[in-house]
């Protein structure tokens, strides 16, 4: 990596005037920072959020062309409504919204909440919007996918037989990476110019950690957020990099410091499971069955549908 890339920051964003970018979960944390910096670079930023009041407050710092639209990724009806109301081309979709290590809950469609919010909702949203997307798709993943023993439980994907807050979170983050891998394979197969990318923020201080099911873990995370974590502004850099820089399809970006916990963005490490095409295709098929959303016919694509 060049010295310039090693020190890449939001000041290095290109002029994004004329580009339209959707950022999910943009009312706070990494999403809010990402939307703010993209807006400052001239983009028309659409903050896709559950709470539009909080979204409007965040949009105030995102430039003159920012707008807020309601989206609840834990409700497929909301996902469909958002996609159906979209009009015109979309340069970039950033799937940022997520929940982490929360007590067991179910989405409106009966999915385990972390799987539904972090993977199945974004899976449906991406495929529904894909005919409109002209540039790239970015999914925010996590270092947590590399923890020992993390895999996709195809026999109990929705954690109905046994629920572990952390296992469910780690599985959902591995699912993000397998989704991007298979999405890129499909885009390449049909000759689409759209590319798929993933990024992770390292350990960034945001309100994501506040939802843990364990009071002890919440206390520990509050302390580590204060004394160990990097800022949300630094945590957003890999997302901004993946969304705007010339990268090959299927790229994965993260902080370049020790353990990929802190630092400026560059190539990140994938676990062996996240590079498994068999897992990726199997998860895609199961995700289609669960959501009822399939890979669409794309304008300009010159190959057969996978």
Strands 252-255 and 195-199: parallel
Q: What angle do CA 31, 52, 78 make, to 5 degrees?
A: 90
C-alpha to C-alpha distance for 73 and 109, rounded to whole angstroms: 11
Report the alpha-carbon distance of residue 244 to residue 241 in Å, rounded: 5
In the numeric block, which tokens belong to residue 60? 């105030």
Cα separation, 40 vs 13, whole angstroms: 9
Kindly list the distances between the CA atom of residue 165 and the CA atoms of 115, 119, 217, in Å, as whole numbers in the listed order.
Answer: 11, 15, 11
- Cα Rg of the chain (Å, integer): 18
- Strand-pair partners of 136: 92, 195
Active site residues: 169
Beta bridge partners of 92: 21, 136
Closest CA relative to residue 175, chosen from 198, 155, 194, 192: 198
Measured CA angle at 117 (ends 113, 122), to 5 deg: 150
- Which uninterrupted H or E stretch holds 195? strand 195-199
For residue 263, give both structure tokens.
């630092």
Residue 57 to residues 30, 40, 94: CA-CA distances in angstroms? Answer: 15, 16, 20
For residues 124 and 285, what is the distance between their CA atoms, to the nearest angstrom?
12
């Amino acid at each position: 990596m060049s010295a310039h890339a090693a020190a890449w920051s939001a000041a290095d964003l290109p002029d994004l005037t004329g580009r339209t970018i959707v950022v999910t979960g943009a009312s706070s944390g990494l999403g809010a920072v990402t939307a703010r910096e993209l807006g400052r670079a001239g983009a028309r930023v659409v903050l896709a959020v559950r709470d539009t009041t909080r979204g409007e407050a965040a949009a105030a710092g995102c430039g003159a062309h920012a707008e807020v639209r309601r989206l609840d990724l834990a409700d497929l009806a909301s996902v469909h409504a958002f996609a159906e109301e979209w009009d015109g081309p979309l340069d970039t979709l950033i799937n940022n919204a997520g929940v982490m290590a929360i007590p067991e809950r179910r989405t409106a469609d009966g999915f385990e909440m972390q799987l539904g919010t972090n993977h199945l909702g974004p899976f449906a949203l991406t495929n529904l919007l894909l005919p409109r997307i002209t540039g790239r798709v970015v999914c925010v993943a996590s270092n947590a996918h590399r923890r020992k023993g993390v895999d996709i439980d195809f026999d109990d994907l929705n954690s109905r037989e046994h629920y572990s807050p952390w296992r469910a979170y780690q599985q959902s983050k591995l699912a993000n990476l397998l989704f991007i891998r298979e999405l890129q394979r499909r885009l390449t197969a049909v000759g689409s110019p759209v590319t798929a990318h993933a990024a992770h923020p390292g350990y960034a201080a945001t309100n994501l950690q506040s939802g843990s099911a364990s009071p002890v873990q919440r206390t520990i995370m509050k302390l580590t957020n204060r004394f160990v974590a990097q800022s949300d502004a630094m945590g957003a850099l890999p997302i901004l990099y993946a969304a705007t820089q010339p990268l090959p399809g299927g790229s994965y970006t993260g902080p370049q410091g020790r353990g990929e916990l802190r630092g400026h963005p560059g190539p990140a490490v994938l676990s062996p499971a996240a590079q498994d095409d068999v897992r990726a295709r199997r998860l895609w098929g199961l995700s289609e069955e669960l959501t009822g959303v399939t890979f669409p016919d794309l304008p300009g694509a010159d190959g057969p549908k996978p």
